[in-house]
Amino acid sequence: MTAPAPSAPPRARRRLWFLLGAIGSALVVTLVVLLIVWRGGAGLPGDAAAGARPQPSKTPAPVALAAAPAPAATPAGPHPSTCGELYSPAMVAAFGTAVLNPAWTEAADSEVRHGTADAELSTVIDTADKLTCVWGNPKGGSDSGLTTNLVWVTAEQSAAVKARLAAAGMTCYEELGGLRCVTETSGDAGTSGESHFVRDGIWLATHYVNSGPDGYTHDIIANVWAGA
């Protein structure tokens, strides 16, 4: 039988355990580094993107919506709702065979929808709230007729209308609590003219051709401002 090999000297054994411990420590450090790289570096699918996005530190304040424009103030003054309210029975009778608002005058191309021939004044009429009242031949256009626009105007529009009436060379004067402006021409085709009246947020614009009973504008004023 072979004799047992002599055991390693104590100093050599201690050196072996030291080497094994160093190797073990190195492995632990390597595993920790790999774990950090795995969790904080490449990460799981979706984690990297989540980590890269900046996170809000607080809830953002709501964005205020633009305030809606305030509705324009309704001009003061009477508010008749139909053309029939503008005239007395006597004035209606004075027009004879002419009728109020015959069907053909409602067409956009009838060219009788404005109570003025002035382009600037017509623009104000087109953009404002109004009643359009046309007296004409029930069978169609003719060489006789009359158009009145009762236009509700703001203070700014009223001032602009008055300035334009004066600039157009009309004769203007104070009458019945408002401003009256008139113009008239005569020729081979007959008589045509305009009558305007501005009072209390209302502008009466009338254009006539070979038509218009005496006292027409006064009759409208008496009915619109009845009791005033």
Walking along the chain (228 residues) 10 residues at a time, the average pLDDT comes out as 46 40 42 37 37 45 42 65 96 96 89 95 96 94 92 97 97 97 93 97 97 96 90
Q: Measured between alpha carbons, how far is 120 from 186 in angstroms, rounded to an integer?
A: 23
Spacing of C-alpha 73 from chain mean position: 14
pLDDT of residue 16: 36
Residue 78: predicted pLDDT = 85
Quote the pLDDT of residue 21: 45
Cα→Cα distances 61→58, 64, 65, Å: 9, 9, 12
Task: Please provide residue 181's backbone torsions phi and psi, each rounded to the nearest 5 degrees.
Answer: -130, 135
pLDDT for 227 equals 75
Of 147, 116, 112, 151, the closest CA to residue 131 belongs to 151
Span 83-224: which CATH code? Answer: 3.40.1000
pTM of the model: 0.67
pLDDT of res. 39? 39
- State how far the Cα of 136 lies from the Cα of 127, in Å rounded to an integer: 24
Counting beta carbons within 10 angstroms of the beta carbon of residue 95, is it exposed (0 to 12), middle (13 to 18) or buried (19 or more)?
middle
Residue 207, phi then psi, degrees to nearest 5: -120, 130
CA–CA distance, 111 with 124 (Å, rounded to integer)? 16
Please tell me the predicted confidence (pLDDT) of residue 75. 55
pLDDT, residue 76, reads: 61
pLDDT score for 151: 98
Query: What's the confidence (pLDDT) of residue 36?
Result: 35
